[in-house]
Amino acid sequence: MSSSGWMANAATESSRRRGSSAAALGWRRCPEDAGGKGGGRGRRRDWTRRNKEGARRHRQLREGGRWRKLRLDEGGRREEGKKNRRTAEYAKRNYANNISEYNTVIGSLIGQRRGFLLRDVYEDMMLDGVQPMRDTFHALIVGTMKGNRLQDAFFFRDEMKAMGLPPDVNLYHFLISTCGKCKNSDAAIKLLEEMKRHGVKLKGETYICLLNALATTGRTDQVYAIVRDMTAAGLGLNKFCYAGLISAYKNKQPTTEETTTKIIELVKQSKGWSSVETSTDSGENVMMNVSEEELYNIPTAEYVHRRAFINRNLTVYHVAVHACAELKSKGTLETILDMIKQDGYSFDAFIAMHAMRCYFNCEDIDSGVKIFEDYTRSRPPLAELCATLAEGAMVGHTPRGMQLAQETLEKMHARGIFLNTKMGNDLLLAAAGEKTGGYTTANYVWDLCQNRGINSNFAAVKAYYEGLKEREIPPDDPRLVTVGRIYDNLNLRFGGRRIRVDR
């Protein structure tokens, strides 16, 4: 077959196929194209009109692949947009991406005393696949120590071991200190046995931590056992050891005459050592912002960073005066105050504050006011001293004491001395216990707290609300309605918990 014949046959076959596909699509041939007679413009317009639907379907089939691709791309872009939005929302919620940022977050929470969030941060760290380091665990356990969260401290200790990081001696110090803050001497003894079992070398700080941790439960037998171990190891007693011994007798139950006698004896024995001692703060304690007073659970730990508030050379006297205030022993207090004067020291703010507490607890208002006036004669009044004066005057809720508390609070407000959250809650709780009278002091404290934006805790609000209900106040009184609403909100959150009120 010639090439021209082959090409003609191919063209005919192609034309036949186009015709069949056109027929399948519903196309119709124009009569003129089919060889018919009598064509014309009208017939061609009819043919064009009849085949519009077929042409549209043909274009859809021809371009369907591209349209499907466009639809897929469009859907992909939508999915990618959703993914990007989810990523942006996660990035907005996410507060850390690596170990350095997590360490910063942990340090910030510790500084804010929000140790109850540390375990949540650790779980987020695990979900993000971030591997904690030894320093991270040290910071976490220090945070639990500052927040008195013993269970969380042991949880982090166990997690640390599971990751192949054995606790070192400094970490054991933090754990033992946490046991002391939570008054769990048995756990402290178990930690000591664990240290010996794992071959951790004990240091002088270890014995002092143990001594003060055991002292919180009043176990004088265990405390003296630690003293014997220190002596056997060639270590002497310093001011923190005597402070721990005094605390042990203060916490020992029942309280006897021997208690106050031993406190005075221990104060005298401590004079055999130099009162001016160099600080033994380890480098890690300094980096973690943990003072010796906080590590050993000394009562001055809260004020050690306050400028000109305490004299650190008077640590033993601080603990002794604090013990007198707790034991309500006015005679022992006066003996210790005389010893301070004989040593050539003047009272610092901590000693003045707890001497006032002791006198007020013994219902000796005049002596407490005299201590306050003597201290503030040459120094500006501190908020803590003013709050102690007001709170102490309300002991027993006598008319004179309530009037003194009211006048003290008014003077504080006039001088611009403001209450913090702890002071406000303590004062409200003390004032709310008044059973007779006009309840003016409690109302004044409540108004001060509201004006300062202080969020009162559940115990204080409950006591104040119950005191208001005992008065003859109309049910629609604005104060009663406001306090009732706040009480209901707090009751939903904390009503099922056991609230311990130390009065």
pTM: 0.78
Report CA dihedral (488, 489, 491, 497) to the nearest 10 degrees: 180
Q: Give the distance between the most distant pair of CA atoms in the chain.
A: 140
Alpha helices in 163-256 (DSSP H): 169-181, 185-197, 204-215, 220-232, 239-251
Distance CA 364, CA 404 (A): 13
Distance of CA 439 to the CA centre of its chain: 34
Dihedrals phi, psi of 248, to nearest 5 degrees: -60, -45
- For 364: left if phi > 0, alpha if psi spans -120 to 50, otherwise beta; the answer is beta
- Which residues are CB-contacts of 469 (< 8 A; sequence separation ≥ 6)? 480
Sign of the four-CA dihedral 159, 164, 165, 168: positive
Q: What is the reported pLDDT for 482? A: 95
> Please, are residues 263 and 250 in contact by the beta-carbon 8 Å criterion?
yes
Distance CA 446, CA 435 (A): 17
Distance CA 351, CA 380 (A): 16
Q: 392 in helix, strand or coil?
A: helix
Distance CA 112, CA 424 (A): 19
Sign of the four-CA dihedral 9, 11, 15, 18: positive
Sign of the four-CA dihedral 232, 233, 235, 237: negative
Q: What is the reported pLDDT for 484? A: 95
Spans in the chain with pLDDT lower than 70: 1-92, 273-287, 496-503
Q: What is the reported pLDDT for 438? A: 87
Dihedrals phi, psi of 21, to nearest 5 degrees: -70, -35
Q: What is the reported pLDDT for 423? A: 94
Q: 219 in helix, strand or coil?
A: coil
Please choose, from the candidates 375, 330, 382, the residue with its C-alpha nearest in 3D space to the C-alpha of residue 352. Answer: 375
Distance CA 144, CA 150 (A): 7
Range 260-292 burial, b when 16+ CB lie within 10 A, else e: bebbbebbeebeeeebeeeeeebebbeebebbb
Q: What is the reported pLDDT for 247? A: 96
Q: Compute the C-alpha angle 198/199/201, nearest 5°.
A: 130
Range 117-134 burial, b when 16+ CB lie within 10 A, else e: ebbebbeebeeeebebee
Distance CA 496, CA 417 (A): 36
Distance CA 183, CA 223 (A): 14
Q: Compute the C-alpha angle 407/413/414, nearest 5°.
A: 90
Q: What is the reported pLDDT for 102? A: 94
DSSP state, 116?
A: G
